[in-house]
Amino acid sequence: MRVLILGNMANDGYSVGKAMRRFDIDVSLAVNVSDFGMALPEWEEARLSGIDPYDFSYSAIRSDWDPPDWIIYFDLCNRLPKNPYLPKKILSRLNLFKMVRGYDVVECHNPYSLYVQFAGKPYCPYDAGWIRYICRGRDFYSRLAQRSYARAKRVMFTNPDTEPMFSRLNGFDTSKLRFVPFAIDVDRYKPIDGGTSTHDPLLFCPSRHIWSEKGNDILIRAYSSFVREHPKSMLQLVNWGPDVQKSRDLISKSIPHNKVEWLNPMSKPALIEFYNKADIVLDQFVLGSWGTTTPEAMACGKSVLMYYNEEHISRCFGSLPPLFNCPSERTLLWGMEALADGETRARKGREARDWVVKTHDDNMVARRHYEILRTVAEGGRNG
């Protein structure tokens, strides 16, 4: 069976494909070079600096990393305006249909099920949060996306808090849903010597600044209280996302300027180092599920502070992670205080890595993807 993973949300397509190849599964990954920068496998493998993931040229992101031959690069011309480039955009979609024909089953990261539903091939949408937007929409784009989910034999989803949202889709059978965690290479994301920090403790939050989804304002307010009791601490933030200026303005009013360090967006080799240098890693405080930051940091032996919906997480994973749950500014401050103790950090970090190895190991996750895709290729009779 020839498998095509079309798209690379959060580089999970690359992680799953790489693990599938270890089992001699005939899988290819197709990546759009005009997609978001962090969806390119170069972001996972190459040491990149000074690259704006929102605005870059693919030639600038190429490095000395040599992509394997099972990765296909194509261009949907996302950044080109319709006029005068409409013919070029149409041709790029037609080429996409031609590419899909060579495979037995297609795993579609968003938004590619929009197209593949018309390709006459078995396909399985992979939802890493797209449902949050398309389930509310009544425009043509959202309806077309909903149709692609309704016509699919199976739909994978990675965010436990989104499971109830699928019931809002017209004509969608929720029995087709299959939960799959993000795939983490725990042999690569692992504890390493991060060196000795002059800060006590060093807090690191790589999440993009979008308050409505990440709750960066909750983090900033909690740290403004924490730093008063822990003047040797330092908070590292990453300079990306639409609400960066809002975050900077809030910080200027409540936190000494020398207690926050702004970092440029970094590719994964550098990010692994920053996870390991940090004493405490922070993620997001609104949605109730995690992306890749939390399991990556956990694999590096860090206890992460974030908000997770315990009911949804428990239902999908069968257990809760050994993390402090922080649904509010008050609970986040309490979590910071608890992890200010080095022994507590070390113990919770060991527990965190053990849990993520059991739940997110890329080999296990890749096998799950393959089982689902095989069922789709066979007509969705079981699995």
The CATH number covering residue 170 comes to 3.40.50.2000
Neighbour order of strands in the sheet with 123-127? 71-74, 27-32, 3-6, 105-109, 123-127, 155-157, 177-179
Q: Are residues 171 and 269 in the same domain?
A: no
Same domain? For 217 and 74 the reply is no
pLDDT confidence band for 61 (50 / 70 / 90):
confident
Query: Do residues 261 and 313 both lie within one domain?
Result: yes
- Per-residue confidence (pLDDT) for residue 300, from 0 to 100: 98
Confidence band, pLDDT 50/70/90 cuts, at residue 381: low
CB 366 within 8 A of CB 19: yes
Q: Where in the sequence is the domain holding 226, given as residue range(s)?
A: 202-360
DSSP output for 109-122: ETTTHHHHTTTTS-
For residue 263, is pLDDT > 70? yes
Does a structural domain hold residue 196? no
Domain assignment of residue 321, yes or no: yes
pLDDT at 382 over 60: no
**Angle of helix 216-229 relative to helix 244-254, nearest 10 degrees?**
20
Q: Is the pLDDT of residue 49 over 90?
A: no
The closest alpha carbon to 359, from 198, 193, 184, belongs to: 184
**249 part of a folded domain:** yes
Query: Residue 55 pLDDT more than 80?
Result: no
Residue 193, in any domain of the structure: no
pLDDT at 380: 64
Residues 335-356 have pLDDT tens digits of 999 999 999 999 999 999 999 9
**207 and 130 both lie in a single domain:** no
Please indicate, yes or no, whether residues 272 and 367 belong to a single structural domain of this protein. Answer: no
92 in any annotated domain: yes
Same domain, 9 and 136: yes
Residue 383 has a pLDDT of: 58
**Cα–Cα distance list, 243 to 40, 213, 215, 249 (Å):** 24, 11, 10, 10
- Specify whether 263 is located in the same domain as 153: no
Number of domains making up the chain: 2
- What pLDDT does residue 211 have? 98
Q: What is the pLDDT of residue 86?
A: 84
Supply the mean pLDDT for the chain. Answer: 94
Is 194 part of a structural domain of the chain? no
Same-domain status, 151 and 27: yes
Judged against a pLDDT cut of 90, whether residue 89 lies above it is answered with no
Q: Per-residue DSSP letters for 348-382?
A: HHHHHHHHHHHHHBHHHHHHHHHHHHHHHHTTS--
Q: Classify strands 123-127 and 27-32 as parallel, antiparallel or unpaired.
A: unpaired
Judgement on whether residues 208 and 159 belong to the same structural domain of the protein: no
Do residues 210 and 315 share a domain?
Answer: yes
pLDDT band at 379 (very low <50, low <70, confident <90, very high): confident
The β-bridge relationship of strands 3-6 and 27-32 is: parallel
Q: Are residues 147 and 12 in the same domain?
A: yes
Residue 188 lies in a domain: no
Q: Which pLDDT score is estimated for 59?
A: 74
Q: What is the pLDDT of residues 161-192, one digit of tens each?
A: 999 999 999 889 999 999 999 999 999 999 99
* Same domain membership, residue 147 and residue 13: yes
Answer yes or no: is 313 within a domain: yes
User: Considering the chain, what percentage of its residues have pLDDT values greater than 90?
Assistant: 84
CA 7/CA 4 separation, integer angstroms: 9
